Chain A
Amino acid sequence: MGNWIINHGLESFILVVWMGINIFLFVRFYLFYDSGPQFFYTRQLLGSALAWARAPAAVLNFNCMLILLPVCRNLLSLLRGSFVCCGRTMRKQLDKNLTFHKLVAYMIALMTAVHTVAHLLNVEWYINSRHGRYGPLPGNLSMLEDDDDDDHHTTFLNPVQSDSTTPTIFAFTTIAGLTGVVITLALILMITSSMEVIRRSYFEVFWYTHHLFIIFFAGLVFHGAGRIVRGQVSTDPPHNTTLCKDHPDKWGKISECPIPQFAGGFPQTWMWVIGPMVIYICERLLRFIRYLQAVRYKKIVMHPSRVLELQLVKSGFKMDVGQYVFLNCPEISQLEWHPFTMTSAPEEEFFTIHIRQAGDWTEKLIKMVENLPEGSQGPKIGVDGPFGTASEDVFDYEVSMLVGAGIGVTPFASILKSIWYKFKDSNPKLRTRKIYFYWLCRETHAFEWFADLLQVLEKEMDERGLKDFLTYKLFLTGWDHTHAAHVMVHFDKDTDVITGLKQKTHYGRPNWDKEFEQVRQENPSSVVGTFLCGPAALAKVLEKKCVKYSDVDPRKTKFYFNKENF
């Protein structure tokens, strides 16, 4: 139980606070509209459907404010930078921004459904009141018309002012109705194109459809402008509701019952969403400015198994280990920005990215680069970033376990190179005293560009007598009988047959229990950070193992799990 609190405590706390605010807003506004005396006459027409429509509206205001914030990646980077003093647990929460974005989106969808259903009923009941189907009081209330005075305030209660209005006509001729239908449609299209199946396989559909959020927010801001939810305002002399409700025919004729006046509620949504909208506009502007900055190609290399390496130079560009950038190539697509982790160390003059062919955009880029003549510059690209994720924290832990699966090894390439440079300079920033590195890969020829790096590091460590600093294990998960035969033949050799490294390649998947046990035994009373860049299934396994092998006792080892996510 204690282990669960260490690994998930802050995240759960934030969710509880968020849910608590939602519930509070819902209940408060429900009671406001269900018991508020100024809505007594409104409730005569609508019953509790008024409160059922207004309560989700308040929750929607709150969540529409929140939804833009997790996708402002530059803002998050700024927050992460200023939280350097506040401990890594706080900063880890910023990694889960996309999960939070989706959660808020689901809440918006749910509240939209409740809000729409309640208003469907409201419209029908407004029309029925107008037709006198609910008795004399609602009938009379509906008949109240606009006072023809000069101040531009409307004083009626029932927004349905004609006997021939139908719900459909009402919906499409009022601002609220029309904007409501349009933005709900936009919301539905955004949600269906964001389903995992569509997002993973057809990214462009997801990305272009998601821009409907512009229509969503535009409509949302104007949704309340018609002021059709109306409450009673005080008159002089005051209208005594308890006495007058039973005598609607006497209104205007006796002193206690002047004709009641109503006014629409002031539209408030814009107050909630204007801040995040401005922040998001700044975010997009910043991306555009970054796109305009010149990026020069230093070197382009085509590796086996369709991996493209680009060495780029951009003035004023500063990075940290394991950070990623977003690339945009206008020749392929104007609007798309795709994330790539950098594989170079901050100590180098340039930055490198390794791109694997994984979809439409990457395939087009690789094809374009393949057809380039020797020694020429690549296609124009824009670079946004760098953005930091968990890898920045690697050097804060005394002991680090780095797990990279396939192309997921890229952030760790950056870290290992940085280690090499830091060792050369004897950099005191390096708090780490031990690193365990696990690389899981299916095919052998993907090894080659990385194996050379490991070979050099191996030699360097040997020369400085620091063989224990870096322990690495390579796992070849896609082996078959030909590999096994080859290994058997060369069993006695000192170096590994596949990579040429002193550390032999393991075959098959790692036994994580054994690995964690080994780390725990070799590092008692240490704080171990586990970093993964790889598939979600592996993340679940590692997360469980971290919880299992952690101990709340400060004299024993504690494992913290950090995941890269894209």
Chain B
Amino acid sequence: MGKIEWAMWANEQALASGLIYLTGGIVGVAGQLKGWEFAAFGIAAGVFVCLLEYPRSKRAKGTSVERTGQYCFTVCVKAFGPLTRNYYVRAFLHAALCVPGGFMLATVLGCVCLGMASLIYLSAAIHGEHWEPIMPKMEPLKHAAQSIKHPPQNPPPRPPPELRRKRTDDLESAAYVNPIPVTANES
């Protein structure tokens, strides 16, 4: 699994965990289950985790796909600087947030899922990944280069297309082979 960016999966897992933590918390509070104080904490923690994890990070390699409407969240998360940039901080934060969930059945699933997300973030941090905001692209102003004042005198050197194609008299030097034999173009 050479090129995996663990943070991308950790992000999906953490967002799902936030929702599960939140749902478990709502069930605990609404059903007035025993230990509902932990459920109330679960609601708060779930919402916080969802807000933190909603903006996707920019990928180190390849195109990043934003979540719908994530720009305002990106700005908020970016404002915390190194706290949100560093994945060690996130890993420990998620680990700490998930612990109270373990004390009540309704939030235990949220606790375990958030714990897994924390572990995947730890792996991401160990691999040196960090969170990078996806900012809208600013087009730089185009200035005409100086060379426009001194156009070249001669056309660029280029062999004619006939030489680039496969030739019937020299089949062996070609870069590729055909199952159907190549014949000269009579026309």
Stretch at the interface among A196-204, A381-389, A427-435, A558-566: A196-204
**Is A218 among interface residues, defined by CB-CB distance under 8 A?**
no
List of B residues within 8 angstroms of A352 by Cβ: 179
Residues of A within 8 A of B59 (CB): 201
Q: How far is the CA of A53 from the CA of B111 in the complex (A)?
A: 22
Distance in Å: Cβ of A121 to nearest Cβ of chain B: 5
Asked whether any CB of chain B lies closer than 8 Å to the CB of A188, the reply is yes
State the total of A-B contacts with C-beta under 8 angstroms: 122
Instruction: Encode contact with A along B150-171: 1 for CB under 8 Å, 0 otherwise.
Output: 0000000000010001100000
Residues of A within 8 A of B116 (CB): 185, 189
> Taking the complex as formed, is B13 at the interface, i.e. its CB lies under 8 A from any CB of chain A?
yes
Q: In the assembled complex, which residues on chain A have CB atoms less than 8 Å from the CB atom of B12?
A: 192-193, 195, 197-198
Q: For the complex formed, measure the closest distance between the CB of B32 and the CB atoms of chain A, giving whole angstroms.
A: 9
User: Do B176 and A120 touch (CB < 8 A)?
Assistant: no
Return the contact of A452 from the options B1, B3, B112, B178 (Cβ within 8 A).
B178
Which of B3, B23, B33 meets A113, CB within 8 Å? B23
Which of the 9-residue segments A224-232, A248-256, A299-307 touches chain B? A299-307
Q: Does A500 contact B (CB under 8 A)?
A: yes
Contact A117 B187 (CB under 8 A): no
Q: Which among B9, B23, B176 is the interface contact of A202 at CB below 8 angstroms?
A: B9
**Chain B residues in 8 Å Cβ range of A185:** 109, 112-113, 116
Asked whether any CB of chain B lies closer than 8 Å to the CB of A494, the reply is: yes
**Contact flag A116-B9 (CB < 8 Å), given A167-B34, A360-B2:** no
Interface size class of A (residues with CB under 8 A): 35 or more
Could you give, for residues 465-505 of chain A, a 1 whenever the CB lies within 8 Å of some chain B CB and a 0 otherwise?
Answer: 00000000000000000000000001000110110100000
- Chain B stretch 106-135: residues in CB contact (< 8 A) with chain A: 106, 108-109, 112-113, 116
Q: Which of A180-212 contact B (CB under 8 A)?
A: 181, 184-185, 188-189, 191-193, 195, 197-198, 201-202, 204-205
Residues of A within 8 A of B31 (CB): 120-121, 124
Secondary structure at the B interface, as helix, strand, loop or mixed, is loop
Q: Is the CB of A197 within 8 A of B8?
A: yes
Across-interface contacts of B185 in A (CB, < 8 A) = 455, 495, 500
**B8 nearest CB across to chain A (Å):** 6
The answer on a CB contact under 8 Å between B175 and A201 is: no
> What's the least CB distance linking B42 to chain A, in Å?
12
- Residues in chain A near residue B72, CB distance under 8 A: none
A192 and B178 within 8 A (CB): no
- A193 with B9: CB separation less than 8 A: yes
Q: Please state if A205 and B23 are interface contacts (CB–CB under 8 Å).
A: no
Also in contact, A116 and B34, with CB within 8 A (given A202-B5, A500-B161)? no
Q: In the complex, are the beta carbons of A360 and B3 less than 8 A apart?
A: yes
Q: Name which residue of chain B comes closest to A343, CB basis.
A: B179
A250 to nearest B CB, angstroms?
32
Q: Least Cβ distance of A258 to chain B in Å?
A: 34
- Which residues of A have CB within 8 Å of B175? 303-304, 448
Distance, CA A197 to CA B63, complexed state (A): 10
Interface flags for B38-80 (1: CB within 8 Å of A; 0: not) read 0000000000000000001001001001000000000000000
Query: How far apart sit A167 and B33, CA to CA, in the bound complex (Å)?
Result: 10
Give Cα distance in the complex from A248 to B101, angstroms: 39
A378 to chain B minimum Cβ distance, whole angstroms, is 16
Q: Which of A152-203 contact B (CB under 8 A)?
A: 166-168, 170-171, 181, 184-185, 188-189, 191-193, 195, 197-198, 201-202
B105:A168 contact, CB within 8 angstroms: yes
B3, B13, B33, B183: which contacts A120 (Cβ < 8 A)? B33
- Within residues 365 to 403 of chain A, which ones have a CB less than 8 A from any CB in chain B? none
B contact residues around A45 at 8 Å (CB): none
CB nearest neighbor in A for B165 = A500
The answer on a CB contact under 8 Å between A205 and B9 is yes
Given contacts A193-B9, A360-B3, contact A120 B27 (CB under 8 A): yes
Please, what's the 1-or-0 string for A122-141, where 1 marks a CB less than 8 Å from any CB in chain B? Answer: 01100100000000000000
Question: Is there contact, CB below 8 Å, between A201 and B16?
Answer: no
Contact in complex: B8, A202 (CB < 8 Å): yes
**Interface membership of A453, Cβ < 8 A:** yes
Contact B112 A189 (CB under 8 A): no
Beta-carbon contact of A120 and B161 below 8 Å: no
Closest to B180 in A: A456
Query: Which residues of the partner chain A approach B109 to less than 8 Å between Cβ atoms?
Result: 116, 181, 184-185, 188
Closest to B63 in A: A201
**B98 lies within 8 A of chain A by Cβ:** no
| Other-chain contact of A117, B3, B16, B27, B178 (Cβ < 8 Å) | B27
Q: Does B4 contact A (CB under 8 A)?
A: yes
Cα A423 to Cα B187 with chains together (Å)? 23
| A170 nearest in chain B by CB position | B105
The answer to whether B105 touches A205, judged by C-beta atoms less than 8 angstroms apart, is: no
Q: With A124-B33, A204-B1 given, name 13 new contacts (CB 8 A).
A: A121-B33, A124-B31, A127-B34, A181-B112, A188-B16, A195-B12, A202-B3, A205-B4, A301-B177, A360-B3, A452-B166, A500-B161, A500-B165
Closest 10 CB pairs of A and B: A167-B105, A192-B12, A202-B4, A192-B13, A124-B33, A204-B1, A168-B105, A456-B180, A192-B16, A120-B106
Interface residues of B (CB under 8 A from A): 1-5, 8-9, 12-13, 16-17, 20, 23-24, 27-28, 31, 33-34, 56, 59, 62, 65, 103-106, 108-109, 112-113, 116, 161, 165-166, 175-180, 182-183, 185, 187
A/B interface sample: 10 pairs, CB < 8 A: A121-B33, A167-B33, A167-B105, A181-B109, A188-B13, A188-B20, A193-B9, A452-B176, A456-B182, A500-B185
